[in-house]
């Protein structure tokens, strides 16, 4: 398994291009299942989760082509299977995003239950509640969920018990081909939900209200292929913003959408950073002294849970004490033990972490446990004199395109080391 070695303490200066959003690609790729024909998706990052999604689509009989560019052509004209196997689903929970499109297009779907992951149990009860409200029959057996809608789906009222991003996406996709109107309440407001709705409407869907907590969908008989370009990755953007802050650097993030990182920007300004924003470019200048601040994660437009670990790393070096509350996932403090090994002073109580700033961290051998925790350890290494080695970096490959190359280009002493 590969490792990443960092010799930190160097202010990062220069330009980093922001890649397409992983969490926008996954639903847009599965939305292609809704139509017979070729959809063209551009600005797709080269990530493990994208490759897993392509494998899933090919299992269903789709053809996926991208001639090694960031533009993918996905043709779902001939679907030959409606079953997402456990060996693929267990590696990527977002495989559940195939449920809605498959049952809408073909009246059936059999998808392995995702199972939990490092950050939590990750149930899909809300997804199933929504599909049932659209007339689907649900059967759980042997670790799979089997869904049938012999006479097709019928529009209905769906009100989620809690805000779910992929749940909102799944029901929105399913409702596009349901007979009649569907109203979904307590929807997620994430930009990735809006981007999916925009793509579905390009395919001929009739969706209104995406980006608000109530979405109306008028079902249509069929959808046609369409093209779209993936929005920039707001979590990658936030991660590199913290890289500038934690190294007292000066980074310009090109291709970023500042509207999608408002909460992160506000937080970093509170910590003493300076921001200079132009269309499509965010410049963030870190200061020598980092001010502490408190954080409570919440659904968009609140502070994103996917940035909690990265901000915690910054707070380990802040003047004073910060309290970080994780309200979305039940086990998203896996990075704390590793940060403590680097000298961080963090106390956990339930879903709250109290971080007492220290003057410096010390380089160490640390282990990544999940995608965003691994990013937080890279950030700690960048801020720390001496050498930090991060193992199990396959977690990073799921969500950060060309991370080592991007950081080296702005002065980081970082390299990927292959080890048996
Ligand atoms: C999406 O996951 C993102 N993944 C996650 O990003 C992100 O952390 C999360 O939204 C929250 O913002 C993708 O978009 C592919 P949820 P999702 O359904 O949709 C509970 C990353 O690092 N819940 O909004 O799976 C759930 O357990 C990943 O890129 C139910 O109880 O998250 C969680 O506690 C990690 N029942 C909360 O709701 C359900 O049916 C929010 O989950 C669904 C969710």
Catalytic-role residue among 32, 117, 267, 273: 117
Asked whether 301 lines ligand 1 (CB < 6 A), one says no
DSSP string, 123-183: --HHHHHHHHHTT-EEEEETTEEEEE-TT--B--EEE-SS--HHHHHHHHHHHTTSBSEEE
CB of residue 417 inside a 6 A radius of ligand 1: no
CB 234 near ligand 1, within 6 Å: no
Atom number in ligand 1 closest to CA 49: 15
Nearest CA to ligand 1 atom 38: 164
The atom number, within ligand 1, closest to the CA of 399 reads 29
Which of residues 197, 229, 261 is at a domain's end? 229
What residues does 390 pair with on adjacent strands? 4, 366
Which residue segment(s) compose the domain that 269 sits in? Answer: 2-17+232-418
Cα separation, 99 vs 134, whole angstroms: 13
As a whole number of angstroms, the distance between CA 408 and CA 420 comes to 24
Kindly give the distance from the C-alpha atom of residue 399 to the centroid of ligand 1, in angstroms, as a whole number. Answer: 15
Rounded distance between C-alpha atoms, residue 377 and residue 369, angstroms: 10
Whether the bond between 301 and the residue before it is cis, its omega within 30 degrees of 0, is yes
Q: Which atom of ligand 1 sits closest to the CA of residue 93?
A: 25
Q: Is the same domain home to 77 and 220?
A: yes
**DSSP symbol at 210:** B
- Quote the DSSP letter at residue 37: S
Contact residues for 195 (Cβ-Cβ < 8 A; gap 6+): 21, 24, 28, 228, 230, 231
Task: Name residue, tokens 């936030």.
Answer: 238
Q: For ligand 1, pick from 27, 47, 158, 164 the residue to mutate: most ligand atoms within 8 Å of CB.
A: 164
Pocket probe for ligand 1: among 20, 21, 22, 23, the residue whose CB has the most ligand atoms within 8 Å is 23
- What is the per-residue pLDDT for 116? 66
Residue of 113, 119, 131, 162 best suited for mutating to test ligand 1, as the one with most atoms within 8 Å of CB: 162
Indicate the residue among 208, 229, 250 that finishes a domain.
Answer: 229
Tell me which H or E stretch contains 31.
Answer: helix 22-31
Domain count, the chain: 2
The residue to mutate among 158, 328, 399, having the most atoms of ligand 1 within 8 angstroms of its beta carbon, is: 328
Angle between helices 165-175 and 22-31 (to 10 degrees): 20
Between the CA of 181 and the centroid of ligand 1 the distance, in Å, is 26
Residues 277 and 290 reside in one and the same domain: yes
Q: Is 124 in the pocket of ligand 1 (CB under 6 A)?
A: yes
Q: How many CB atoms lie within 10 A of CB 60?
A: 22
The pLDDT tens digits for 194-242 are: 999 999 999 999 999 999 999 999 999 999 999 999 999 999 999 999 9
339-362: burial string, b at 16+ Cβ within 10 Å, e else: bbbbbbebeeeebebebebeeebe
State whether residue 393 is helix, strand or coil.
helix
Residue 121 has a pLDDT of 78
Is the same domain home to 220 and 274? no
CA 367 to CA 217: how far, in whole Å? 45
- DSSP 8-state code for residue 120: B
Co-location of 236 and 200 in the same domain: no
- CB within 8 Å of 373: residues ≥ 6 apart: 118, 309, 334, 335, 338, 395
The pLDDT value given to residue 345: 98
Per-residue confidence (pLDDT) for residue 93, from 0 to 100: 87
Q: Is the CB of 114 under 6 A from ligand 1?
A: no
Same domain for 183 and 240? no
Mean pLDDT, 10 residues at a time, over the chain (420 residues)?
A: 95 98 98 97 96 96 93 97 91 92 96 79 92 97 93 97 97 98 98 98 98 98 98 98 98 97 98 94 96 98 98 98 96 96 98 98 95 97 96 94 98 92
DSSP 353-382: EEEE--S-----EEE--SHHHHHHHHHHHH
* Stretch (H or E) spanning 6: strand 3-7
pLDDT score for 159: 98
Structural element, H or E, at residue 99: helix 99-106
Strand pairing partners for 356?
A: 321, 345
Number of helices followed by number of strands (H, E) in the chain: 13, 24
Of 183, 205, 229, which residue constitutes the final position of a domain?
A: 229
The answer on 239 and 205 residing in a single domain is no
- Ligand 1 atom closest to residue 190's alpha carbon, by position in its atom list: 12
Taking the chain, what is the end-to-end CA distance rounded to the nearest angstrom? 6
The residues facing 253 across adjacent strands are 16, 282
Q: Is residue 117 annotated as a catalytic residue, yes or no?
A: yes
- Rounded distance between C-alpha atoms, residue 219 and residue 385, angstroms: 58
Is 308 touching ligand 1 by the criterion CB < 6 Å?
A: no
Tell me, yes or no, whether 160 and 192 share the same domain.
Answer: yes
Residues 183 and 236 in one domain: no
Instruction: Output the domain CATH number for residue 165.
Output: 3.65.10.10
Is 135 in the same domain as 182? yes
Interval between CA 122 and ligand 1 midpoint (Å): 7
Q: How far apart, in whole angstroms, are the C-alpha atoms of residue 93 and residue 164?
A: 13
* Same domain flag for 237 and 188: no
Give me the helix-helix angle, 308-315 and 234-246, nearest 10°. 10
Task: Identify whether residues 10 and 152 lie together within a single domain.
Answer: no
- Asked if 94 and 160 sit in the same domain, the reply is yes
Q: Which atom of ligand 1 is nearest to the CA of 162?
A: 38
């Amino acid at each position: 398994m590969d490792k990443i070695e960092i010799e930190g303490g160097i202010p990062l200066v220069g330009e980093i291009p922001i890649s397409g959003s992983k969490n926008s690609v996954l639903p847009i790729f599965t939305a292609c299942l809704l139509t017979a024909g070729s959809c063209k998706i551009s600005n797709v990052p080269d990530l493990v989760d994208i490759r897993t999604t392509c494998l899933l689509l090919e299992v269903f009989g789709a053809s996926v082509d991208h001639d090694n560019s960031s533009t993918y052509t996905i043709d779902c004209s001939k679907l030959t299977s409606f079953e997402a196997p456990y060996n693929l689903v267990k590696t990527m929970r977002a495989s559940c995003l195939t449920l809605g499109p498959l049952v809408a297009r073909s009246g059936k779907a059999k998808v392995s239950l995702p199972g939990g992951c490092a950050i939590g149990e990750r149930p899909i009860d809300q997804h199933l509640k929504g599909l049932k409200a659209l007339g689907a029959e649900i059967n759980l057996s042997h670790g799979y969920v089997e869904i049938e809608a012999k006479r097709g789906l019928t529009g209905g009222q769906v009100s989620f018990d809690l805000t779910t991003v992929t749940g909102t996406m799944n029901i929105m996709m399913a409702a596009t081909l349901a007979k009649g109107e569907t109203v979904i309440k307590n929807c997620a407001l994430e930009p990735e939900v809006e981007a999916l709705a925009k793509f579905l409407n390009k395919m001929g869907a009739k969706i209104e209200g995406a980006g608000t907590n109530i979405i109306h969908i008028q079902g249509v008989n069929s959808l046609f292929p369409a093209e779209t370009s993936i929005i920039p990755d707001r979590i990658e953007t936030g991660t590199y913003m913290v890289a500038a802050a934690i190294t007292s650097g000066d980074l310009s993030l090109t291709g970023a959408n500042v509207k999608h990182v408002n909460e992160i920007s506000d937080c970093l300004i509170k910590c003493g950073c300076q921001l200079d924003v132009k269309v499509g470019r965010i410049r963030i200048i870190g200061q020598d002294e980092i001010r502490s601040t408190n954080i409570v994660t919440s659904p968009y437009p609140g502070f994103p849970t996917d940035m909690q670990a990265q901000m915690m790393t910054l707070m380990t070096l802040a003047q004073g004490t910060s309290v970080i509350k994780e309200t979305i996932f039940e086990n998203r403090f896996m990075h704390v033990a590793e940060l403590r090994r680097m000298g961080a002073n963090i106390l956990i109580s339930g879903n709250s972490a109290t971080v007492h700033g220290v003057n410096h961290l010390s380089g160490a051998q640390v282990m990544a446990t999940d995608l965003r925790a691994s990013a937080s350890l890279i950030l700690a290494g960048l801020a720390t004199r001496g050498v930090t080695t991060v193992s199990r970096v396959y977690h990073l490959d799921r969500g950060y395109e060309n991370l080592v190359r991007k950081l080296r280009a702005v002065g980081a002493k970082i390299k990927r080391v292959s080890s048996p």
